[in-house]
């Protein structure tokens, strides 16, 4: 099955980002395909390389980068949502790309299932 993921919550406010990450890992382990991961609304905060969690806390941005790089998954950050939150090319982490809502629409068309993770 081909999945698309939509994440609309920030990395540390709710479980949405962690749940999406665990879902993606489990789906890949079962042989499914993740076509694209799209971060929208506060979800774009997952992409900033400025986050600096405590040593004993998970580093969700690095987890997303590693997952996308090792599995060749497009990880897209909504340009409008990112700009509203001060995220631009200077602070976006490796592996993330800035894109528009057209990429989300394309994902919804191409994926067998589009799964949203929100609060």
- The catalytic residues are 78
The Cα diameter of the chain in Å comes to 40
Half-sphere exposure of 25 (CA within 13 A, CB side): 11
Contact 89, 98 (CB under 8 A): yes
Contact 110, 1 (CB under 8 A): no
């Amino acid at each position: 099955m081909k999945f698309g993921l939509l994440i609309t919550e920030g990395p540390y406010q709710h479980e949405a980002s962690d749940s999406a990450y665990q879902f993606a890992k489990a789906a890949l382990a079962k042989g499914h395909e993740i076509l694209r991961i799209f971060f929208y609304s506060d979800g774009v905060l997952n992409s900033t390389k400025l986050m600096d969690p405590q040593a004993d806390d998970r580093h969700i941005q690095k987890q997303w980068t590693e997952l996308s790089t090792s599995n060749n998954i497009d990880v897209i950050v909504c340009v409008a949502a990112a700009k509203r939150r001060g995220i631009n090319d200077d602070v976006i982490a490796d592996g993330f790309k800035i894109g528009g809502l057209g990429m989300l629409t394309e994902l919804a068309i191409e994926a067998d299932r589009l799964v949203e993770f929100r609060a």
